A and B are shown apart, each in its own frame.
Chain A
Amino acid sequence: MKLFLKFDFNTLSKKVLESKLDEQNLEYKILGFGEIELIKKLTPEDYDALQSSLHDYGIEIVESQKSILVQKIKDMIINMVFNENIDLKVKSSVYLSKNIGHSYGYLSNLFSEMTYSSIGNFIIIQKIEYVKHLILNTELNLTEIAFKLNYSSVAHLSTQFKNATGITPSAFQRIIFKRRKLAKQKTK
């Protein structure tokens, strides 16, 4: 039989991290998403061991400052989009520079250099992801979703969705539902 799963990556990665750190008997404090504080400085062997065990789980220890910053930007954006409590009326540029502490221009350039794509694009991608999630996993209709994500109208949302994916939100919903139906039939 088939089960449908939803992943909460935050919790998932945290648990993995914790178990891996515990395996190596390291003392640590988890500061935030993507940040841990080790009480004692790691030996190179421990560092390598940790790095390789985390790598199996797709967790990379980020080296460069730049990467760290970019990761922070990404995390901020993800938080901004997915977190219900944040007021999306605040402009993303202001939000980012305020919370990370650099000018938006600097952040923007850095992001483009490291990821070959812009912050704006990334925001759109995340928003569209969230829209997809809402369409598939909640009973909200498009108007409500548009409102929730601070689009000026349903048409605006549809246009952005279509521009990003090439299909309309309703077509998307239809396709996923049909996929699920097909999968159900296959298991019978």
Chain B
Amino acid sequence: MIMNNWFKSTLFLKIILLLSLFVILVIGGLTFRHISNLTSSTEVVVKTYKVNLELEQIISYLRDAESGYRNYIVTKDTFYIESYLNAHKKVNNSFLNLRNLIKVNSEQQENLKILNKLTDSLFSSFAESKVFVKNDETNTETFKTLFFKEKVIIDSIRRQSMVMFQLENKLLNERQKEFQSDLKFTPLFFYVVLLIMLLLIIIAYTKISNDLKNIKAKNDQLLIFKESTNQSEIIGKHGNWVWHIDSDKYVYSDNLYRLLGEEPQSFEATFDNFLKFVHPDDVDKFAEELDKMIDEEELPFTNYRIIQKNGSIKYLKAFAKSFYGDDGQKILLGNTSDVTDEIENILTLEEQNLELEQNNKELSAFNYAASHDLQEPLRKILTFISRLEEKESDKFSDTGQQYLEHIKAAASRMRLLIDDLLQFSRTNKPDKEFVNADLNELFENAKQDLTEIISEKKAQIKIATLPKATVIDFQIQQLFLNLLSNSLKYSKEETAPIIKIYYSKVEADKEPSLYKAPQSHYHKITFTDNGIGFDQKYAKKIFDLFNRLHNKQDYSGTGIGLSICKKIIQNHKGFIFANGEINVGSVFTIYLPVN
């Protein structure tokens, strides 16, 4: 991974280049050294052979001299002395040459000096002997000794030259050995370096080719992107524009023209030309906001209207951000979109909303008025019935009294219904005031309203400490009242009702029943009782308006109480759930959002 990144960096290429140069220099240097070594080596060999040649030549010349001398001795012809003299000269030449050749080597110089002395002594001996030959005294003992001495000298010369020869060869061998090792090393080194070079070249090539591929791909992407931007502008109904502030030049995208209802690039992109399309009422604001956008980095949208040539009014929304270009010039990049559809939708929605609200208000008023006005005649009926009961019941026959009872029962039931309906319509009132209330207080108030029935049934009510919360206080009190009154009403016969209320603050994502709840935390209040309970399959239905699970003979009730509870909970954006088990009891769980 790291290698990859490193590979991709442009620094990498530079490093490869430097390495290559370095390697080339190294190779150059080494090659140069190698060649000069070779040259030296060759020189040394040549020198050695020259030396050897000279030495051989000396020997040969000496032989010539010797043979000339011998010939002279034999023939006594002075003609042969010439060759001897020549030889002498040549020998001296050779010595000169040798001296030059072995200038560097002190040991060899010593050897040469010895050789020189020997040859000199040989030639002087020859010169001596010549006299003898001239005088024809070759048989004398001194001549024989001299002759023998010459032989010894020649042997010595030969030996000495052999020594020099060997030394020369030894030196040569040594040098050769040196060069040999160099030589052996060089090709290997050369091949290795060559391989490295090759490797470097391959790597460099790979990278360059990759980079090229990338650039091409990016280029392709850019082309596609440009095309899709164009398309998106058309589909999304927006256009881009650029304002080079300093040079006061504008660039409008094709679609910006289309937004104005014109052909792309059909007029010169200037501020004034654009302004011609802006609605006269919005012109000032538009210009002002645009000015603001230059100074600030970013501004919220500006909304304005334009009138196309065909007279249709469009709503546009523009937004711009200022940038500094590469050359340090300030430019404003903007985007303008046609939001006519959205605005028109919103207007339509608002209209519909108003209508709905109006309807709701009327319905509410009707509901309330109906319930309220129905109470009057009903009250009269009931009061007169009670008067009859009190004052005239003895004048009724048994049937008459029974009928009276039934009328009373029916009228009472109607009163209950109207009371509950009235309550229901009150929970629907649009003007709801939320206050920070102590739920314990509200509960106490509700409990107090039920004092009689609580003591009558000997009910026990245990309540946990409830928090303070922002609620519609009278509605929550009603909620508590309804739930409590239900628990008391639907208690088991011969069993004192035990009602327990629990509280905890919970997190929405930890409560399974709060799936997809909008708030994060809720107050959870649980009402449990030991009453007759209900079949869990009705758990949702019992909150329906007018829904009852019992006959009105068995348990009185209007079926509105729990609907009121549900409505109240809805007003608070909370949740209510019912759980029941027949003959065990009921559990009502309410969740109120914590805000």
Interface string of A144-188 (1 = CB under 8 A from B): 000000000001001100100000101000000000000000000
Interface string of B438-461 (1 = CB under 8 A from A): 000100110010010000000000
Kindly list chain B residues whose C-beta atoms are within 8 Å of the C-beta of A155: 444
Kindly list chain B residues whose C-beta atoms are within 8 Å of the C-beta of A159: 448, 451
* Shortest beta-carbon distance from A151 to chain B in Å: 14
B residues contacting A by CB (< 8 A) are 441, 444-445, 448, 451
Kindly list chain B residues whose C-beta atoms are within 8 Å of the C-beta of A158: 444, 448
* Shortest beta-carbon distance from A84 to chain B in Å: 28
Give the residues from 65 to 97 in chain A that come closer than 8 angstroms, CB to CB, to chain B: none
Q: Let me know if A170 and B448 touch, CB within 8 A.
A: no
* Shortest beta-carbon distance from A176 to chain B in Å: 18
Q: DSSP majority for the B interface? A: helix
A residues contacting B by CB (< 8 A) are 155, 158-159, 162, 168, 170
Kindly list chain A residues whose C-beta atoms are within 8 Å of the C-beta of B441: 170
> A155 CA to B443 CA in the complex, in Å?
11
* Shortest beta-carbon distance from A174 to chain B in Å: 11
A sample of 9 cross-chain residue pairs with beta-carbon separation below 8 angstroms, ordered by A number, consists of A155-B444, A158-B444, A158-B448, A159-B448, A159-B451, A162-B448, A168-B445, A168-B448, A170-B441
> A30 CA to B448 CA in the complex, in Å?
47
> A170 CA to B448 CA in the complex, in Å?
14
* Shortest beta-carbon distance from B444 to chain A in Å: 6
Q: A168-B445, A168-B448 are in contact. List 7 more A-B contacts (CB 8 A).
A: A155-B444, A158-B444, A158-B448, A159-B448, A159-B451, A162-B448, A170-B441
* Shortest beta-carbon distance from A145 to chain B in Å: 15
> A162 CA to B451 CA in the complex, in Å?
11
> A162 CA to B444 CA in the complex, in Å?
12
* Shortest beta-carbon distance from A166 to chain B in Å: 11
Kindly list chain A residues whose C-beta atoms are within 8 Å of the C-beta of B448: 158-159, 162, 168
* Shortest beta-carbon distance from A29 to chain B in Å: 50
> A158 CA to B451 CA in the complex, in Å?
13
Kindly list chain B residues whose C-beta atoms are within 8 Å of the C-beta of A162: 448
Nearest CB to that of B449 among chain A residues? A162
Nearest CB to that of B447 among chain A residues? A155
Nearest CB to that of A155 among chain B residues? B444
Kindly list chain A residues whose C-beta atoms are within 8 Å of the C-beta of B444: 155, 158
> A155 CA to B445 CA in the complex, in Å?
10
Kindly list chain B residues whose C-beta atoms are within 8 Å of the C-beta of A170: 441
> A42 CA to B445 CA in the complex, in Å?
58
Nearest CB to that of A168 among chain B residues? B445
> A155 CA to B444 CA in the complex, in Å?
8
* Shortest beta-carbon distance from B352 to chain A in Å: 39
> A155 CA to B463 CA in the complex, in Å?
14
Nearest CB to that of A170 among chain B residues? B441
8 nearest CB pairs, A to B = A162-B448, A168-B445, A159-B448, A155-B444, A158-B444, A170-B441, A158-B448, A159-B451
* Shortest beta-carbon distance from A117 to chain B in Å: 22
* Shortest beta-carbon distance from B163 to chain A in Å: 136
Nearest CB to that of A159 among chain B residues? B448
> A170 CA to B477 CA in the complex, in Å?
15
Nearest CB to that of A171 among chain B residues? B445
Kindly list chain A residues whose C-beta atoms are within 8 Å of the C-beta of B451: 159
Kindly list chain A residues whose C-beta atoms are within 8 Å of the C-beta of B445: 168
> A168 CA to B445 CA in the complex, in Å?
8
* Shortest beta-carbon distance from A61 to chain B in Å: 44
* Shortest beta-carbon distance from A175 to chain B in Å: 15
Nearest CB to that of B451 among chain A residues? A159
* Shortest beta-carbon distance from A127 to chain B in Å: 18
* Shortest beta-carbon distance from B357 to chain A in Å: 30
> A162 CA to B449 CA in the complex, in Å?
10
Nearest CB to that of A162 among chain B residues? B448
* Shortest beta-carbon distance from A165 to chain B in Å: 12
> A159 CA to B451 CA in the complex, in Å?
9
> A162 CA to B445 CA in the complex, in Å?
10
* Shortest beta-carbon distance from A152 to chain B in Å: 15
> A168 CA to B449 CA in the complex, in Å?
11
> A168 CA to B451 CA in the complex, in Å?
14
> A120 CA to B442 CA in the complex, in Å?
29
* Shortest beta-carbon distance from B453 to chain A in Å: 15
> A158 CA to B445 CA in the complex, in Å?
9
